[in-house]
């Protein structure tokens, strides 16, 4: 059977640098950092006391107060991104066949704050017996965001979550893409969310020595591909891409941001948290995605890397890019928007895919900020263009987004300019 | 309004997101105030916490209205 073509017709996002896609995109191009001291809990006793939090978001502007209470923060952010995406796509819900609209949202952890609160309460009141809130489980579980979104809109199509740590929402996009390609849905509201800036989240990642501890200078802490990088900065947020079957989009006469043309997945099969030192899984996943897209390495103009600003991960990914792209690795642009958003964990794939889509649409690449002259890691090849500090205008016909998760999961998605 | 009554009403307003004017003694949690089965369980738990009581499941099932809750708590609160 002939696979159907899939286009992006709507965007939604809530990130540490903006509460809408427009605001996020403008701040990314301007090189603004979303990092600041943690406000969601008292982090005085934590090794890391800063993060990239979503700011000035009034959740009840979007979600009814009564419903807000029944959602963990990750689910609230997911819902808001989906509401923005559905609105942006101009869907007329009265006319659409809702049995043909699905929701696939990726989440790395789920409602960790809800879990923390409930277990803490139990720990403090054990003598009274178990007094768990009836909303504990339905708030906490990782799949509830896709469920809540379907309930809100009445979408009866395929519905589930994808969980592969920091690759979760790339896997969501990949699955959504495949469901539409196979003719199983007209539209999938796809994306991802995470909100883990709580004691358990920060303390847990601190225990692994995964987070930057540059507490005296949060805005400059996320510095992928600089020698002085010392770990990632935890972010929170959500991203939504409305993926739609091309003929369905054309019949609606809706704007098309870009075409999704390929996805790849692989595993490092190496270590639970460390990436493969030679970037084996990273290499495989990009090759898989290019093959799926029917593209050559030379067709890619921009790679939004996983690039979390950890000592090992950035090097192995750069190696993988050189292995896959050869001399073209010096011609394409590479950037890590995590230098500004922090690491959005389960939301990273969706938000970074959105960045690729907007790069393709606007022919501009957002920067990797915080690189200082001479702060070069001898394990990296600076003939590669890491798009340091300033956005760069260039034709972007096609862009690729990498995400890698603890467990060794790798996922890669490819977008290109839409043309008949 | 007794102290128990005002506390019960405040919990209901908070948890069910309804106007205080709707929280009349005869109002049923599920039929009038939009509560589902999980909301009802949560309400009972909040009453237990607020008033330091334990409401057994068979009694909880009989608490269907605002008035039922106030009456039960008035009779059982320490």
Q: DSSP code of A89?
A: T
Q: What is the pLDDT of residue A166?
A: 97
Contact B45 A131 (CB under 8 A): yes
CB pairs under 8 A between A and B: 19
DSSP string for A21-84: HHHHHHHHHTT---EEE--SS--TTSS--EEE---S--GGGTS-HHHHTTS-HHHHHHHHHHHH
Query: Do A318 and A335 touch, CB atoms closer than 8 A?
Result: no
Which of the following CATH numbers is that of domain A6-416: 3.30.420.40, 3.40.50.620, 2.160.10.10, 3.40.47.10?
A: 3.40.47.10
pTM of the model: 0.96
Which chain A residues are Cβ-neighbours of B53 within 8 angstroms?
A: none
Burial class (CB in 10 A: 0-12, 13-18, 19+), A46: middle
Strand-by-strand arrangement of the A187-194 sheet: A159-162, A101-107, A187-194, A237-245, A6-14, A258-267, A409-416, A398-405, A302-304, A333-335
Rounded Cα–Cα distance for residues A30 and A234 (Å): 21
Is residue B53 within 8 angstroms of chain A, CB to CB?
A: no
Report the share of chain A in percent with pLDDT over 70.
100
Determine how β-strand A258-267 pairs with β-strand A409-416.
antiparallel
Q: Decide if A340 contacts A28 (C-beta within 8 A).
A: yes
Structure confidence at residue A150 (pLDDT): 98
Over residues B6-65, the pLDDT tens digits come to 999 999 999 999 999 999 999 999 999 999 999 999 999 999 999 999 999 999 999 999
Mean pLDDT, range A124-150, rounded to an integer: 95
| pLDDT surpassing 90 at residue A128 | no
Using the predicted structure, report yes or no on whether residue B78 has a pLDDT greater than 80. no
CB contact under 8 A, A134 and B15: no
- Please tell me the distance in Å from B17's CA to the nearest CA on chain A: 5
User: Taking 90 as the threshold, does the pLDDT of residue A229 lie above it?
Assistant: yes
Write out the catalytic residue numbers of A: 166, 306, 343
Q: How much of chain A is helix, strand and coil, in % rounded to 5?
A: 40, 20, 40
| CA-based nearest residue in chain B for residue A64 | B17
Confidence class for position A66, pLDDT limits 50, 70, 90:
confident
Q: Which residue of B has its CA nearest to A69?
A: B15
| Cβ contacts of A403 within 8 Å, gap of 6 or more | A166, A167, A169, A170, A306, A348, A349, A352, A410, A411, A412
Q: What angle do CA A213, A217, A221 make, to 5 degrees?
A: 60
Report the mean per-residue pLDDT for chain A.
Answer: 97
Active site residues of B: 36
A12: distance to nearest CA of chain B, Å?
Answer: 28
Q: What is the least distance, in Å, from the CA of B2 to any CA of chain A?
A: 26
CA-based nearest residue to A226, from A331, A51, A378, A403: A378
Residue of A nearest to B34 (CA): A66
Contact B17 A135 (CB under 8 A): no
A227 contacts: CB under 8 Å, gap ≥ 6? A375, A376, A377, A378
Cβ atoms A339, A369 nearer than 8 A: yes
Please report the pLDDT score of residue A358 as a whole number: 98
Least CB-CB distance to B17: which of A65, A131, A138? A65
What pLDDT sits at residue B77? Answer: 85
- What confidence score (pLDDT) does residue A118 get? 97
Give the residue numbers spanning the domain of B59: 1-74
Q: Mean of the pLDDT values across residues A316-334? A: 97
Contact A135 B42 (CB under 8 A): yes
A-chain CB neighbours of B42 within 8 Å are 133-135
Which residues of chain B neighbour A134 with C-beta distances below 8 Å? 38, 41-42, 45
Beta carbons of B45 and A135 less than 8 Å apart: no
* Coil/strand/helix, residue A17: coil
| Contact at CB, A131 and B38, closer than 8 angstroms | no
By a Cβ cutoff of 8 Å, what residues of chain A touch chain B? 64-66, 69, 131, 133-135, 138
- Lowest mean pLDDT segment, chosen from A76-85, A153-162, A270-279: A270-279
**What does the domain layout of chain A look like in residue ranges?**
6-416
Considering its fold, how many domains does chain B have in total?
1
User: Closest-CA residue in chain B for A131?
Assistant: B45
- Range A246-265 burial, b when 16+ CB lie within 10 A, else e: bebbeebebebbbbbbbbbb
Instruction: Indicate the SS3 state at residue A222.
Output: coil
For the stretch A243-298, pLDDT in tens is 999 999 999 999 999 999 999 999 999 999 988 988 999 999 999 999 999 999 99
Q: Which of B16, B34, B42 sits opposite A133 (nearest CB)?
A: B42
**CA A195 vs CA A47, A108, A348, A401: distances in Å:** 19, 10, 12, 21
| Interatomic CA distance for residues A194 and A344, integer angstroms | 7
**pLDDT at site A65:** 87
Confidence of residue A1 (pLDDT cuts 50, 70, 90): confident
Contacts of residue B41 in chain A, CB cutoff 8 Å?
134
Sign of the dihedral defined by the CA atoms of residues A210, A212, A213, A215, in that order: negative
At A333 the pLDDT is 98
Residues of A in contact with B38 (CB under 8 A): 134-135, 138
Q: Are strands A35-37 and A50-52 parallel, antiparallel or unpaired?
A: antiparallel
- What percent of chain A is modeled with pLDDT above 90? 97
Q: Are A413 and A178 in contact, with CB atoms under 8 Å apart?
A: no
Minimal C-alpha gap between B13 and chain A (Å): 10
Residues of chain B contacting A133 with CB distance shorter than 8 Å: 42, 45
Confidence band of A129 (pLDDT split at 50, 70, 90): confident
Q: Residue B3 and residue B1: Cα distance in Å, rounded?
A: 7
CATH number of the domain encompassing residue B6:
1.10.1200.10
Q: Among the residues of A56-198, which ranges form H helices? A: 65-68, 73-88, 112-124, 136-140, 144-153, 168-181
B25 touches chain A (CB under 8 A): no
Contact B48 A135 (CB under 8 A): no
Q: What is the pLDDT of residue A282?
A: 97
| Residue in B closest to A132 by C-alpha | B45
Strands A258-267 and A6-14 come out as antiparallel
Whether B15 sits inside 8 A of A65 (CB atoms) is no
CA distances from A358 to A159, A211, A255, A295, A395 (A): 26, 29, 13, 20, 12
Task: Output the pLDDT for position A78.
Answer: 98
Mean local confidence (pLDDT), A312-325: 96
């Amino acid at each position: 059977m002939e696979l159907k073509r899939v286009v992006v017709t709507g965007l939604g996002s809530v990130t540490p640098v903006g509460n809408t896609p427009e605001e996020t995109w403008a701040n990314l191009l301007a090189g603004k950092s979303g990092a600041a001291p943690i406000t969601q809990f008292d982090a005085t006793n934590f090794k890391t006391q800063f993060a990239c939090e979503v700011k000035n978001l009034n959740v009840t502007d979007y979600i009814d107060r009564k419903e807000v209470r029944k959602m963990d923060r990750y689910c609230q952010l997911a819902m808001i991104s989906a509401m923005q995406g559905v609105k942006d796509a101009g869907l007329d819900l009265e006319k659409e066949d809702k049995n043909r609209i699905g929701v696939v949202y990726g989440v790395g952890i789920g409602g960790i704050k809800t879990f923390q609160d409930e277990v803490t309460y139990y720990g403090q009141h054990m003598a009274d017996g178990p007094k768990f809130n009836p909303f504990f489980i339905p708030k906490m579980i990782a799949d509830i965001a896709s469920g809540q979104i379907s309930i809100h809109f009445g979408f009866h199509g395929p519905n589930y979550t994808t969980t592969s740590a920091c690759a979760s929402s790339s896997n969501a996009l990949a699955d959504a893409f495949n469901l539409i390609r196979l003719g199983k849905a007209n539209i999938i509201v796809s994306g991802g969310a995470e909100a883990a800036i709580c004691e358990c989240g920060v303390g847990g990642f601190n225990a692994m020595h995964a987070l930057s501890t540059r507490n005296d200078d949060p805005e400059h802490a996320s510095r992928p591909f600089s020698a002085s990088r010392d770990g990632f900065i935890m972010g929170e947020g959500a991203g939504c891409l409305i993926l739609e079957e091309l003929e369905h989009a054309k019949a609606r006469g809706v704007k098309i941001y870009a075409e999704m043309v390929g996805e790849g997945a692989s595993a490092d099969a190496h270590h639970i948290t460390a990436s493969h030192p030679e970037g084996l899984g990273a290499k495989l996943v990009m090759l898989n995605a290019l093959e799926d897209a029917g593209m050559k390495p030379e067709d890619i103009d921009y790679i939004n890397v996983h690039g979390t600003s950890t000592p090992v991960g950035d090097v192995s990914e750069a190696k993988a890019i050189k292995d896959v792209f050869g001399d073209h690795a010096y011609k394409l642009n590479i950037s890590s928007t995590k230098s500004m958003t922090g690491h959005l964990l389960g939301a990273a794939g969706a938000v970074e895919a959105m960045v690729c889509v907007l790069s393709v649409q606007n022919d501009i690449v957002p920067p990797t900020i915080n690189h200082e002259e001479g702060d070069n890691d001898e394990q990296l090849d600076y003939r590669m263009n890491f798009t340091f500090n300033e956005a760069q205008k260039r034709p972007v016909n096609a862009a690729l987004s990498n995400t890698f998760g603890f467990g060794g999961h790798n996922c890669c998605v490819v977008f290109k300019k839409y043309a008949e | 309004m007794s102290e128990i009554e005002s506390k019960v009403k405040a919990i209901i307003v908070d948890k069910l997101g309804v106007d205080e004017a709707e929280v009349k003694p005869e109002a049923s949690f599920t039929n009038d105030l939009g509560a589902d089965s999980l909301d009802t369980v949560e309400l009972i738990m909040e009453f237990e916490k607020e008033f330091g009581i334990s409401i057994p499941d068979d009694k909880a099932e009989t608490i269907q209205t605002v008035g039922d809750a106030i009456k039960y708590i008035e009779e059982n609160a320490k």
